[in-house]
A and B are shown apart, each in its own frame.
Chain A
Amino acid sequence: MAQMNLLHAINNALDLAMAVNDRVLCFGEDVGHFGGVFRSTSGLQDKYGKNRCFNTPLTEQGIIGFANGLAAQGAVPIAEIQFADYIFPAFDQIVNETAKFRYRSGNEFNVGSLVIRTPYGGGIAGGLYHSQSPEAYFTGTPGLKVVVPRNPYQAKGLLLAAIKDDNPVIFFEPKRLYRASIGEVPEEAYEIELGKAEVVTIGSDITLLGWGAQMEVIEKAMELAKADGISCELIDLRTLLPWDVETVATSVTKTGRLLISHEAPLTGGFAGEIAATIQQQCFLHLEAPINRICGLDTPYPLIQEKEYVADHLKIYEGIKATMNF
């Protein structure tokens, strides 16, 4: 085991993937010699050469179109979009091409080897265009897998699984935690199965559900609730598409209460999808309405970020409100 921050864990996963398969390529804006603006591809060009780790021109639609072509040809492209806020020029390539390649061709062709890595989320004083959590635009797109890790250990295992998975994966990296989240990570390769949630803490009164950087915020709220004698079961969804209904439903059947929290705005957020499914699966077990603590329905602000975000205090209040319903 080694101490790694989230960036190191991702860099390490990319390194291992490139080492075992010379068809694995890493590319994107500033990804080459410089190693990416966050340095997640640091050293890879030196190690594997300019043909396998390289800068692209500044065009997200080009990067993903190019990656689709590579994947269709049988290469294993790991394309970086510098910020998730800048993924939208590539929306057409992802939604109409990546996601539908296999289906539309009757599996004559597919881009299953593609992984799109992109840093997402707030908490870095980034304002409107360096803070967004756009996962719900993609969870509405059948054919994609959507994965969000919460810490270095998870990031490495999930990324290696995403690279091996035979379906295109969008891998959202919590950039606020790139250097802030540090933990024990095995040095060798390992995979964490996609599509499986993880019960992080076992509890009995209420199920708390989240993913990515929001997990540590929820955990902080859970500690406050614990002091009030509330026993919380904490679940990290990890894969949003396709998501692990069974693990969540089993937990809610036991606790009778569910609170979901994400950074993205409330309306149209993925919490709504989860709530709809869980109320159907667990209706007779629910003791209170399913609660959602999310970003406000506004663009992501700058100076009022603290007020805007779904912080631990809002979640704590949400837990109490659900308990006292």
Chain B
Amino acid sequence: MNQPQQNIDVVFEPQFVNKDTLRIPTLKVLQQDGTLYPNAMMPNIDKSLALKIYDTMVFIRVLDERMVASQRQGRISFYMTCKGEEASIIGSAAGLSDDDMIMAQYREQGALAFRGFSLENFMNQMFSNAKDLGKGRQMPIHYGSSELNYMTISSPLATQIPQATGFAYGQRLQGLDALTLCYFGEGAASEGDFHAGLNMAAVLNSPTIFYCRNNGYAISTSIEDQYAGDGIAPRGVGYGIETIRVDGNDCLAVLLATQKARAFALENNKPVLIEAMSYRLGAHSTSDDPSGYRSKEEEDLWAELDGVMRFRNWLELQGWWDQAQETALYDKYRQEVLAQLKVSEKVPTPLLVELVSDVYSDIPTHLQQQLGDLRQHLAKYPQDYPKTSGEKH
């Protein structure tokens, strides 16, 4: 029954509540030199997990660097780097179980690499070849893997947020020891889907971790043009969601926040919002040039706070990492990436039938007809359709 509220705070003079009423602190563990803040709480991490995280960071740095160069050379059509946000993305993925579903926005290849997506799979997707799990249909970096519980990327922003709420609700109803983590940017949090997804998760008790990568920019639009409040975190509180803000360049803080969020969400069947404060060090994509909207000085300031360097400093202080290992790992990945690139770019394109498959579970009559007409047409002009003209029907 919806009764009149009894025990509510009452005032007899108008009082406006503003954003300063709720000040959300930022969780930190690691200082830039790799030492811990005094009294900082440590996440659950051992040497093996730490090295796996760092290995993934280096892999992504190398992959990003190489693929941007490949795009410049015209070998792939498009790319987006993770640069600056590796600690945020990989640290949060490391706080999950492999059974947890990840629904990402598009810049989270680090999370997918941490799950074990092979270099070959990455490369085949970017070259849209016959071995691409997505059958060559989407632009580069739109990865996905059901085996690895990583939902295929969709370009439209924020659409994955209410989907994550639904997916996690299904996990809960099945009694699974698994939840869904949803990545999105502070720009996507302006979309209606953000508000719908968070409110529904809170009301319906869906064990979803909403992970906002606040990286300062949505293409050219800075946070000043994106929101007037104190970031995204207070919105979680407004929806009745447990909320935490974390330094996104502090891998240990991100890991700690995610581990705690996961435990809370599964224990209570409730959502959590994590806002990770970071910076997109690279361009939005290879189609973008940030010099049109931000200064080199600003980029340099953030580069000094690089999360990969910070984590490496910590590893070295543990005695788990040194310069020789660093050089060897970069060399290894540079060679592997280059070698795989050369292999994947030579794999043929998907068969023509993949143009009409998967529109539905079966190929309906009208699409079979259209495919047949297309084959006849291509046979008339083989030289004009070189990718498919050699195909044996």
Residues of A within 8 A of B (CB): 29-30, 32-34, 37, 54-62, 85-86, 88-89, 125-130, 266-267, 296-299, 301-304, 306-308, 313-314, 317
Q: Indicate which residue in B226, B354, B366 contacts A304 across the interface (CB closer than 8 Å).
A: B354
Chain B residues 190-235 with CB under 8 Å of chain A are 190-193, 218-221, 225-227
Cβ of B155 and Cβ of A130 under 8 Å apart? yes
Q: How far is the CB of A289 from chain B (nearest CB, A)?
A: 15
* A267 / chain B contacts, CB cutoff of 8 Å: 366
Q: Indicate which residue in B156, B190, B218, B377 contacts A314 across the interface (CB closer than 8 Å).
A: B377
Cα distance A296–B368 when bound, in Å? 11
Q: How far is the CB of B282 from chain A (nearest CB, A)?
A: 16
Q: How far is the CB of B304 from chain A (nearest CB, A)?
A: 26
Given contacts A299-B137, A304-B355, contact A55 B385 (CB under 8 A): no
Residues of B within 8 A of A (CB): 77-78, 128-129, 136-139, 142, 154-157, 187-188, 190-193, 218-221, 225-227, 287-288, 292-293, 349-350, 352, 354-356, 359, 366-367, 370, 374, 377-378, 380-381, 384-385, 387-388
Cα distance A201–B307 when bound, in Å? 62
Cα distance A136–B384 when bound, in Å? 30
Q: How far is the CB of A161 from chain B (nearest CB, A)?
A: 30
Cα distance A89–B129 when bound, in Å? 32
Given contacts A62-B192, A127-B139, contact A313 B377 (CB under 8 A): yes
- Find the B residue at minimum CB distance from A57: B190
* A58 / chain B contacts, CB cutoff of 8 Å: 157, 187-188, 190-191, 218, 221, 226
**Central interface residue in B187, B226, B355, B384, by most chain A CB within 10 Å:** B355
Excluding A60-B191, A127-B137, 13 further A-B contacts by CB distance (< 8 Å) are A29-B218, A29-B221, A56-B225, A58-B191, A85-B155, A85-B156, A129-B156, A130-B139, A303-B128, A304-B352, A306-B385, A307-B352, A308-B355
A-B contact pairs, 27 of them (CB 8 A): A34-B219, A54-B225, A55-B221, A57-B226, A58-B191, A58-B218, A58-B226, A60-B191, A88-B156, A127-B137, A127-B139, A127-B142, A128-B137, A129-B156, A266-B370, A296-B374, A298-B356, A299-B137, A301-B137, A303-B137, A303-B349, A304-B355, A304-B387, A307-B355, A307-B374, A313-B377, A314-B377
- Find the A residue at minimum CB distance from B370: A296
Cα distance A209–B350 when bound, in Å? 33
Cα distance A299–B139 when bound, in Å? 13
Cβ of A297 and Cβ of B139 under 8 Å apart? no
Cα distance A130–B157 when bound, in Å? 13
Cβ of A307 and Cβ of B367 under 8 Å apart? no
Cβ of A307 and Cβ of B156 under 8 Å apart? no
Cβ of A301 and Cβ of B355 under 8 Å apart? yes
Cβ of B370 and Cβ of A297 under 8 Å apart? yes
Cβ of B367 and Cβ of A298 under 8 Å apart? yes
Given contacts A30-B219, A298-B356, contact A303 B155 (CB under 8 A): no
* B354 / chain A contacts, CB cutoff of 8 Å: 304
Q: How far is the CB of A168 from chain B (nearest CB, A)?
A: 21
